[in-house]
Amino acid sequence: MKTSAFVLSTLVSVGLMAGQSFAFTCPVLIKGANESIAKAEVAAGNIKDEREKGRAMMMIELAKQWTKEADADHKEAGAKKDAQLHYRAEAKTKAAKALVDLVK
């Protein structure tokens, strides 16, 4: 009985620590997306074709919007203690980074 109680409490503790560690990935992902956006802006500035440059700039603007939304979701998730908002912030940030990585 003592062994099963110990195992159960250990699993609960690990689960709680893992939940907290996921909450800290949002700022790191947002920072990475912002760095990719900055690089994409430089790359877009070097594009000569106006049509391609316009496409690149729209992708960058969309990525900026998603990154802002992800930051807001992360802050709201911290206030509400809502894991779903952290997941949404992570997804938006990853999508923003993937989008601007196409500009390079």
User: In residues, how long is the chain?
Assistant: 104
Are 42 and 1 contacting, i.e. CB atoms less than 8 angstroms apart? Answer: no
Residue-wise pLDDT tens digits, 7-66:
455 556 555 554 444 556 889 999 999 999 999 999 999 999 999 999 999 999 999 999
The continuous run of DSSP H or E covering 93 comes out as: helix 83-101
Cα–Cα distance, 64 to 34 (Å, whole number): 8
Residue-wise pLDDT tens digits, 58-72:
999 999 999 999 999
